[in-house]
Structure 1
Amino acid sequence: MDSRTPRRHAFTLVELLVVIAIIGVLIALLLPAVQQAREAARRIQCTNNQKQIGLAIHNYHDTFGKLPYNAVPQSGSVGDRQRGPSWLVRLLPFVEQNSAYDQFVFTGDWTMQDGPSPNAAVLGLLRVPGFNCPSSPLPETEKQNTNANGEVELQLVNYVGITGSYWQGGTSNVVSTSQQDSSYGDAVYNGMIVPVSSKSNAIRLATVSDGTTNTMMVSEQSDYFYNASGAKVDRRSSGHAGKSWGNGGGAGSWTANVTTVRYAIATEGGTGNGADYHVNIPLVSAHPGGVLITQGDASVRFLAETVNFAILTGLADRQDGNVLGEF
């Protein structure tokens, strides 16, 4: 008779718990690395999105001899309001969206809040993936009740055109003497994506006296702001009536899809920064540590949120004549 102890073929409960604990520790160690890798991939995609926007702007310039502009003065009264398209609409043929662009009628109220729009049906279907940052936690669409076209669901984008700097470029406390309009803040037209009005005209690259590598055209509004009580606030310049496709009330009024730099990155509150139709909404990004910017030569750079504010104003002002310094 064999008296030897039979061999065990199973784990004890203690051994099983030890294995689970080891696996948990390994996952805890690896998860941050995985998340960082995913964010790195998303940041690369966002960089590519802005690169394509920058190239589209250059192709627009090659075709029309000027940069895309964002607004013209509105006309008409409520019920027959004429408000134009945003600069993003003008880029559509250059980002492979010809099918939508060719259906547009360039009349009516592109904000759809005060007048009818012949484009409402097309705009309700239009989605341009390259206009959204993959890291952004913000909603990509939002429904709007229009004046004459019922309810329509429109895309909200994460990229914003730069009209200029409230402060003279290269300074942080000297108010610019460039042409400006004061309504819902102060829109200053020393930047690249400006309205067409008695105070400004669409910009030609040859007139960017600071040089295209020293001036930004586009940046991000791809994350929430946090107010004084810690609540999240979605305050993108594409968030009001007409969303991504309207230019706002036009030159000299509320704006959409553009901003004039007046505050440091991710700053909440202040004059011109109280609602999504205000003209001084800061840049903000879902990428940790700063924002991506598209410069006048269509290159894309990462700008740290701790950057000297005078450098940020210098990048926003195409004609200040100051040396930027390292950034």
Structure 2
Amino acid sequence: MTIQFRSRRAFTLVELLVVIAIIGVLIALLLPAVQQAREAARRMQCTNNQKQIGLAIHNYHDTYLKMPYNAVPQVSTTPVQRGPSWLVRLLPYVEQNAAYDQFQFTGDWSMQDGPSPNATILGQLRVPGFNCPSSPLPELESQSTNANGTVSLQVVNYIGITGSYYKGGTTNVVSGSPQDNSYGDAVYNGMIVPLSSKSNAINLAACTDGTSNTMMVTEQSDYFINSSGTKVARRSSGHAGRSWANGAGAGNWTSNVTTIRYAIGEEGGTGNAANYNVNIPPISAHPGGVMILLGDASVRFLSETTNFAILTGLGDRQDGNVLGEF
């Protein structure tokens, strides 16, 4: 019996290189799709984060018949009474009762001028829903305090809107609403306002433009790019006390809120030069625009090419102008 053996031909070098090239092309085609799918998932999570903040604001309003406010006049005694941010007031409504129930609403929440009885709790407090999952910015920052050592504090990506520097629906008519101008120009015709001689906590009825046409919260979740092409980490939650302090009170530097004065992602200018300035604009790590939370607790994606007059209109709760499509 004759047994015949057939030799098995191996790949040639050319064939192997062709296969590798085809695999490389397939990977090159697949990776952008994977990245887009991941970004879509992160954007959906960001939308949900802001939705939960919106529901928390409405639950707070149902309880106290007013919107959460961000600042009270600073008391010039020792220690300085620099109070909690509006985000602290939402904690019971985002399942953070354990931390909230331990707080003492006294002392210096910025922890830069006086002691804080809450320093240990604030150093442990982490609320994942307060950070955008697409943000490349650090979620934690260390701070040396006046009397409580060094603490690690969460730095959030969502900020409240105090109002618009320009009358809503305009781009060059300065608002006639009450203003404070220590570090830029803070205007209180928005939804998250301070308690001061120029402003009182408002309720939803004060939003005469309609809650679906007025912005409560937006993002500061990416680096700005300055005129030299350098990345700049600037956000309203990035100064003393980080996410949990209101700044130095009404009429001075503030934290965790902004007054709309510049277009989305615009870097530099009066009130937009440091974390404690009051006119840092919205900016987002989501390609093409930012997520915004409206007064009716709905979340919209606002394109970075949106007419600036629409942005000022969204920031002003009482301008009486009709917004175009956004």
Same fold (TM > 0.5): yes
Q: Distance in 2 between matches of 1:322 and 1:190?
A: 14
Task: Give the structure 2 partner of residue 316 of structure 1.
Answer: 315
After TM superposition, give the deviation of residue 207 of structure 1 in Å: 1.4
Quote the residue 2:118 is aligned against. Answer: 119
Q: Which residue number in structure 1 is paired with residue 72 of structure 2?
A: 72
Equivalent position of 2:82 in the other structure: 83
**Equivalent residues in 2 for 1:230-245 (5 A)?**
230-245=229-244
What's the counterpart of residue 165 of structure 2?
A: 166
| 2:137 equivalent in structure 1 | 138
1:99-127 CA-to-partner distances (Å, cap 9, x unmatched) read 00000000000000000000000000000
Aligned to 1:152: 151
Partner SS state of residue 87, structure 2: helix
State the 1:5 CA deviation. 8.3
Residue 68 of structure 1 aligns with an amino acid whose one-letter code is P
SS of the residue 1:163 aligns to: strand
Give, in angstroms, the shift of residue 174 of structure 1.
0.2
Matching residue of 1:15: 15
CA distance in 2, matches of 1:48, 1:66: 23
Deviation at 1:10, TM superposition (A): 3.1
State the Cα deviation string for residues 139-192 of structure 1 (Å, max 9, x = none).
000000000000000000000000000000000000000011111000000000
The residue type paired with residue 74 of structure 2 is Q
Cα deviation for residue 76 of structure 1 reads 3.0
Paired position in structure 2 for 1:35: 35
What residue ranges of structure 2 are gaps of 5+ in the alignment?
none
1:293 and 2:292 aligned: yes
| Pairs within 5 Å for 1:226-305 | 226-305=225-304
User: Aligned-pair distance for 1:219?
Assistant: 0.3
State the match for 1:98 in structure 2: 97
TM-score by length of 2: 0.98
SS at match of 2:106: coil
Partners of 2:84 and 2:51 in 1: CA distance: 22
AA aligned opposite 1:49: N
How far 1:9 sits from its partner (Å)?
Answer: 5.0
Q: C-alpha separation between the residues in 1 aligned to 2:171 and 2:121?
A: 43
Q: Report the Cα offset of residue 13 of structure 1.
A: 2.6
The residue identity in structure 2 corresponding to 1:26 is L
Distance 1:302 1:169 in 2: 19
TM-score normalised by the chain length of structure 1: 0.97
The runs of at least 4 aligned residues of structure 1 exceeding 3 Å deviation read 1-6
Give the Cα separation in 2 of the matches to 1:264 and 1:32.
29
Alpha-carbon separation, structure 2, partners of 1:166 and 1:194: 14
2: CA distance, partners of 1:254 / 1:131: 22
Deviations 1:208-240 (A, max 9, x none): 110101100000000000011111111010000
Cα distance in 2, alignment partners of residues 179 and 2 from structure 1: 104
Q: Which runs of 5+ in 1 are unaligned?
A: none
Task: State the secondary structure of the residue aligned to 1:219.
Answer: strand
| SS state at 1:142 partner | strand
Q: What whole-Å deviation, never above 9, does each CA across 1:21-66 have from its counterpart, x for those lacking one?
A: 1111000011111111110010000000000000000000000000
Secondary structure in 2 matching 1:291:
strand
Deviation of the 1:4 alpha carbon: 7.9
Report the Cα offset of residue 6 of structure 1.
4.0
- Cα displacement (A) at 1:11: 2.2
* Cross-structure match for 2:24: 24
